[in-house]
Amino acid sequence: MSAIWRMIAQRLALGLLTLFIVSLLIFFATELLPGDLARQLLGNSATPETLAVLREQLGLNDPAPLRYWNWLTGALQGDFGVSMGNQRPISELIGARLGNTIFLALYAAAMAVPISLVLGVLAALWRNSVFDKVVNALSLTSISFPEFFVSYILILWLAQSGIFPSMVRVVPGAELSDRLWQTFLPALTLTLVVTAHMMRMTRAAIINLLALPYIEMARLKGISPLRIVLRHALPNALAPIINVIALNLAYLITGVVVVEVVFVYPGLGQLMVDSVTNRDIAVVQAVALIFAAAYVLLNLLADVLSTITNPRLLHRR
């Protein structure tokens, strides 16, 4: 158990270092954007006096390292500043949208994980069969199509017929069934995108294990192929499967920008795009930092779970 805690501490330290580097990239990348932020906010009719006052309020007259330090220390305390678009605290804006993004990601994961596991196991069990070839062809097709294309296809087939809404309307206090119905199309889009990756990894991991001697011994004992896969192969393939599932969960949280924009879903992705359009730099920085933190944490979770499920990684010699 001490090895696990040591590994968690090492991964956590590496994750914090990664977040620090990402925060530097986020801040100074937005600093390199062309144009004057104060003039963009006030318009071309602004007087030099009002521009000077706004620059002082935004801290634009301070050196860039000092502004980065103030932003980073505030972010560590949960204070990302005030949005220039609507004069509301950024933490309040993010708090209202973060729950929606997490709900959409969990909804898609609840559909994608069992579907990908079942398809991967069956494709490995019936390797080179018609089922395997069809599933692989469909998965490659799903991977090749970008998210916005899949979204528009689903809108054409399922929304225009009136089965599901093309634009998501999230009402506070709505019933769970109504919310699941409202968000089905964006969740299905994300499911189709990530299922292919998880299914192919599951299939490849199980096929590699089926060639090992202990699996051959189980066959010689007369054990059924399904039982061999579920009882002997699948538990030993959990490490790479868990790893790819955690990475795809990270994608579901950080890669929802396009899907949220297409379906006008009130999540962090939609907030980020609106903030870029309005040149609300502070909101863009905050959302990008939250996406990076979610990705780092889920990568840490993937490392820990894959190590726990693989004794060879847990007890190295």
pLDDT tens by residue, 286-315: 999 999 898 888 888 887 777 777 666 655
Say whether both 232 and 103 belong to one domain: yes
Please report whether residue 84 resides in a domain: no
Please report whether residue 288 resides in a domain: yes
Please report whether residue 88 resides in a domain: no
Say whether both 120 and 248 belong to one domain: yes
Please report whether residue 170 resides in a domain: yes
Say whether both 233 and 119 belong to one domain: yes
Say whether both 49 and 195 belong to one domain: no
Say whether both 192 and 242 belong to one domain: yes
Quick: pLDDT tens for 121-156: 888 888 888 998 998 888 888 888 888 888 888 888
Say whether both 163 and 212 belong to one domain: yes
Domain harbouring 177, CATH code: 1.10.3720.10
Which domain range does residue 53 map to? 2-76
What is the model's pTM? 0.85
Please report whether residue 213 resides in a domain: yes
* pLDDT score recorded for residue 115: 92
* pLDDT score recorded for residue 111: 92
Say whether both 111 and 62 belong to one domain: no
Say whether both 141 and 212 belong to one domain: yes
Say whether both 237 and 268 belong to one domain: yes
* pLDDT score recorded for residue 110: 92
Please report whether residue 40 resides in a domain: yes
- Two structure tokens written together for 287: 């959302």
* pLDDT score recorded for residue 25: 92
- With a cut of 50, list the residues of the chain below it in pLDDT: none
Query: Last residue of a domain, which of 76, 106, 124?
Result: 76
Q: How many domains does the chain have?
A: 2
- Which residues, 6 or more positions from 124, have their beta carbon under 8 angstroms from its beta carbon? 202, 203, 206, 207, 210, 229, 233
The torsion angles phi and psi of 214, rounded to 5 degrees, stand at: -70, -25
Say whether both 69 and 135 belong to one domain: no
Say whether both 228 and 288 belong to one domain: yes
* pLDDT score recorded for residue 281: 85
* pLDDT score recorded for residue 121: 87
Please report whether residue 19 resides in a domain: yes
Please report whether residue 268 resides in a domain: yes
